[in-house]
């Protein structure tokens, strides 16, 4: 996997709760609303989505 030079971080502006979805959107060059929608849709499936979100909230540094 080639590095694009962009790091994953939680931005100070444009975030709703913790900035995890906004940070992922910036990292992968996607609109933030799309990442948020995909996260909400994934919550309909069984799995540890909320645990992963909280872990990323703690682990991923702020901008």
Residue range 20-60, pLDDT digits in tens? 999 999 999 999 999 999 999 999 999 999 999 999 999 99
Count of structural domains within the chain:
1
Which helix (H) or strand (E) is 44 found in, with range? none
What predicted TM-score, i.e. pTM, was given to this entire model?
0.83
C-alpha to C-alpha distances, 33 to 2, 23, 40, 58, nearest whole angstrom: 26, 12, 10, 22
Position 32 in a domain: yes
Position 44 in a domain: yes
Give the residue numbers spanning the domain of 39: 20-59
Position 29 in a domain: yes
Position 42 in a domain: yes
Give the pLDDT of residue 1: 47
Position 13 in a domain: no
Give the pLDDT of residue 23: 95
């Amino acid at each position: 996997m080639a590095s694009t030079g962009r790091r994953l971080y939680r931005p100070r502006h444009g975030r709703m709760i913790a900035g995890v979805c906004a940070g992922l959107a910036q990292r992968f060059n996607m609109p933030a609303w799309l990442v948020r929608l995909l996260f909400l849709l994934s919550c309909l499936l069984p799995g540890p989505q909320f645990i992963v979100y909280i872990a990323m909230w703690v682990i991923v540094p702020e901008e």
